[in-house]
Each structure stands twice: as C-alpha cells, then as structure tokens.
Amino acid sequence: MGYYIDLEKICLNKYKEMLRSVDLLPGRMIIKENLDLNFEVLKREGIKNVDEILKALKNKKSINDFALNSGLEEGYLTVLVREIKSYQPKPNKLKDFPGISENDLMKLEEIQIKNTVQLFDRATTKHKRNDLCQQTGIDKNDLLKITKLTDLARIRWVNHTFAFVLFEAGYDTVEKVANGDSEKLYQDIKQLNEERNLYNAHIGLHDIKLCVEAANDVSLEIDYE
C-alpha cells in the first residue's frame, strides 16, 4: 500500500463504519451526526470512496458548490475533509527527529533523502536497507533506528518528537503501537518523560487511545526480519 493509507480502497460504507466506531477528536464529532443520512447524500452525488471525497472537495470553492448542490452543510464537509486529510499527514523532515546524527543526515541528503516519505521506499526490507547502508556508509543499526522512526511517523498525529518518545519507550514500530495496551502505553511514556523530560505538551490517556486506534489503520509495510 505504501507510506500512506490507500484512500481509494476505502469505500463509503467501510468509512462510515470506521467513523461510527472511532473515537474522534472533540472538534470533529460533528461528523458522527446524521451519519447514515449524510453518507447516503454523498452516494447520491456519485461519491464511491474516500479518495473521491477529497477530489470533490479539493478547495473552499468546491466545498461551497458541493454544499449548495447536495444540501450538506459547508461546515460539515470542511470538517470531514480535515478528518480524511489526517490520514495523509505531511512527511516529517529527518533532521527534525531527535537522536539522528548530523553525519547520517548529511549522507542521506546527498542521495536526496530528506524526509520520511523519501526514506520509506528505500528501507522497507532488510535487503534495501543493506543496499542503502553500502551506498551511504551509515551503520545498519543507525539506519534501522531511522527506519523505525519513519514507520512510527506514519501514524496519524504522531510527529517527529512523539515518534522518538514511542521509540524510546520500546514501542518502536507501528505494529507494537497497534498491539499495545493504551493504559500501559500511557504509563510507560509518562514515566519516561518524568525521567528524561522528552516533551512539554500534555499527552493524556485519551490521546494515547487515539494513537493506538490510528496505528491499527496503518498497514505493516516494513519488514524487520
């Protein structure tokens, strides 16, 4: 599937059920209102999958036109687009991750790898990572760490800092986060932060539950064996 979730493969019915069960951010709870009725309107307008929602609502004008034609509220459509786009966050710059040496960053930049998307396709298998190590001279364990940080950054709402926090807490892959117990993960990172002061933001149990749910949406693309 690649770095991002393939939105074209999520049909409207599937996405509707995903929204019904997911724990949304407070500001996006409007999406759950009249869910069946609103998605019937989307179907009536010819929308078949999540990718087509983004294409139909690509800017403010198209959202306004769609609202006028369909009868759906412009505010609802705007929040819906915002929620869908959270599945495809901007790639993280490798230089923003804590714990990556300047020397390794320079070696990767020399071959035009500056962010997580650019690294991803070059590091999905052990064979590819070995080739990259030979090409750049980066130690295989150091590249594996960068790969794991890239993997974690594929989870919605996980930025470079929190990817590092998850890594340091022992949840160093998407699979481990997805299979993690929310309460234990919360206590683990809370204790880690108390010991090392890795972040200043407030991260509560609710945030961790969202993170675990989001990790379950991410395909396991990287082979660590």
**Residuewise pLDDT in 10s, the chain (225 residues):** 689 888 998 999 999 998 998 878 889 999 999 999 999 999 999 999 999 999 999 999 999 999 999 999 999 999 999 999 988 888 999 999 999 999 999 999 999 999 999 999 999 999 999 999 999 999 999 999 999 999 999 998 899 999 999 999 999 999 999 999 999 999 999 999 999 999 988 899 989 998 998 899 898 999 998
Name the domain boundary from 85, 116, 145.
85
pLDDT at 124 (0 to 100): 96
User: How much is the pLDDT for 1?
Assistant: 65
* pLDDT for the residue 113: 98
Residue 208 lies in a domain: yes
Give me the pLDDT at residue 34, please: 95
Q: How many CA atoms lie within 13 A of 202 on its CB side?
A: 2
What is the b/e burial string over 88-97, where b = at least 16 CB atoms within 10 angstroms of the residue's CB? ebebbebeeb
Same-domain pairing of 162 and 191 = yes
Residues 55 and 125 in one domain: no
Backbone phi, psi, residue 157, to 5°: 70, 0
Q: For residue 215, which amino acid is it?
A: A
Q: H/E/C letters for each residue in the chain?
A: CCCCCCHHHCEHHHHHHHHHHCCCCHHHHHHHCCHHHHHHHHHHCCCCEHHHHHHHCCCHHHHHHHHHHHCCCHHHHHHHHHHHHCCCCCCCEHHHCCCCCHHHHHHHHCCCCCEHHHHHCCCCCHHHHHHHHHHHCCCHHHHHHHHHHHHHCCCCCCCHHHHHHHHHCCCCCHHHHHCCCHHHHHHHHHHHHHHHCCCCCCCCHHHHHHHHHHHCCCCCCCCCC
Q: Which of 50, 85, 120 is the last residue of a domain?
A: 85
190 found inside a domain: yes
Other C-beta atoms closer than 10 Å to the C-beta of 61 total 8
pTM for this entry: 0.82
> Where do we find the tokens 């933001």?
201
Residue 76 belongs to what domain range?
7-85
* Residue 175 CB-half CA count within 13 A: 6
Q: Do 39 and 103 have their domain in common?
A: no
- Provide the sign of the torsion angle of the four alpha carbons 212, 214, 217, 222, taken in this order: negative
pLDDT at 24: 83
Q: How many domains does the structure of the chain reveal?
A: 2
Assess whether 105 and 166 both reside in one domain: yes
